[in-house]
Structure 1
Amino acid sequence: PSMYSADRVAYLRNQIGKRYGCDCVGLIKSYYFGGVGSPKYTANRDYNTNAIYAAAPKKGPLSSLPEVPGTCLYMKGYVGIYIGEGWCIECTLGNYGDGVVKTRVAGRGWTNWFYCPFVEYPGSSDDTPTPAFQKGDKVKVKPGSKTYTGGKLASFVYQTIYDVLEVSGERIVIGIKGNVTAAIKADDLVKQ
Structure 2
Amino acid sequence: MMKASELVSKAIDIAKNYKTLYVMGCFGAPMTAANKKRYTANHSYNKAAARVKMINAASADTFGFDCVCLIKGILWGWDGDQNATYGGAKYASNGVPDIGADSMIKKCPDASTTGWNNMEPGEVVWTTGHIGIYIGDGLAVECTPKWKNCVQITAVANIGSKSGYNARTWKKHGHIPYVEYSGQTEAPAPEKDIPSAPASGKEVKATGVATGFDKSLAGTYTVTAASGLNVRNAAGTNNKVLVAIPKGTKVQNYGYYTLVGGVKWLYVKFTYNGVTYIGFASASYLKK
Superposed, which structure 2 residues align to 1:26-41 within 5 Å?
26-35=69-78, 36-39=87-90, 41=92
Find out whether 1:91 has 2:178 as its counterpart: no
TM-score by length of 1: 0.60
Q: 1:12 maps to which residue?
A: 55
The residue identity in structure 1 corresponding to 2:139 is: W
Which of the two has higher C-alpha Rg? 2
> Given the superposition, is the C-alpha separation of residues 126 and 83 from structure 1 closer, same or farther in structure 2, using an over 3 Å criterion?
closer
The residue identity in structure 1 corresponding to 2:183 is: G
Which of 172, 177, 180 in structure 2 is aligned with 1:112? 172
Superposed, which structure 2 residues align to 1:19-98 within 5 Å?
19-35=62-78, 36-39=87-90, 41-42=92-93, 45-94=97-146, 96-98=147-149
Counterpart of 1:41 in 2: which secondary structure?
coil
Which of 82, 93, 101 in structure 1 is aligned with 2:152? 101
Q: Which structure 2 residue ranges, 5 or more long, are not aligned?
A: 1-42, 79-86, 158-166, 188-209, 220-251, 257-267, 269-282
Counterpart of 1:80 in 2: which secondary structure?
strand
For 1:2 and 1:40, the matched residues in 2 are separated by 21
Identical positions, percent? 28
User: Which consecutive aligned stretches of 4+ in structure 1 deviate over 6 angstroms post-superposition?
Assistant: none
The residue identity in structure 2 corresponding to 1:50 is: D
Counterpart of 2:53 in 1: which secondary structure?
helix
For 2:179 and 2:67, the matched residues in 1 are separated by 16
RMSD: 3.6
Counterpart of 1:97 in 2: which secondary structure?
coil
Preserved CA contact (<8 Å) 2:122 2:134: yes
Q: Which structure 1 residue ranges, 5 or more long, are not aligned?
A: 149-168, 174-185
Preserved CA contact (<8 Å) 1:69 1:83: yes
Q: 2:253 maps to which residue?
A: 170
For 2:135 and 2:103, the matched residues in 1 are separated by 22
For 1:6 and 1:171, the matched residues in 2 are separated by 57
Preserved CA contact (<8 Å) 1:72 1:114: yes
Preserved CA contact (<8 Å) 1:68 1:84: yes
Q: How far has the Cα of 1:134 moved from its partner?
A: 1.8
TM-score by length of 2: 0.42
Q: 1:134 maps to which residue?
A: 212
Residue deviations 1:57-98 (CA, integer Å, cap 9, x gap): 22211444424221110111110111111111100012x221
For 1:45 and 1:124, the matched residues in 2 are separated by 26
Q: 1:155 maps to which residue?
A: none
Preserved CA contact (<8 Å) 1:32 1:40: no
The residue identity in structure 2 corresponding to 1:54 is: K
Counterpart of 1:61 in 2: which secondary structure?
coil
Count of aligned pairs between the two proteins: 145
Residue deviations 1:121-165 (CA, integer Å, cap 9, x gap): 1135998xxxx5625x7x9x89xxxx97xxxxxxxxxxxxxxxxx
> Given the superposition, is the C-alpha separation of residues 97 and 44 from structure 1 closer, same or farther in structure 2, using an over 3 Å criterion?
closer
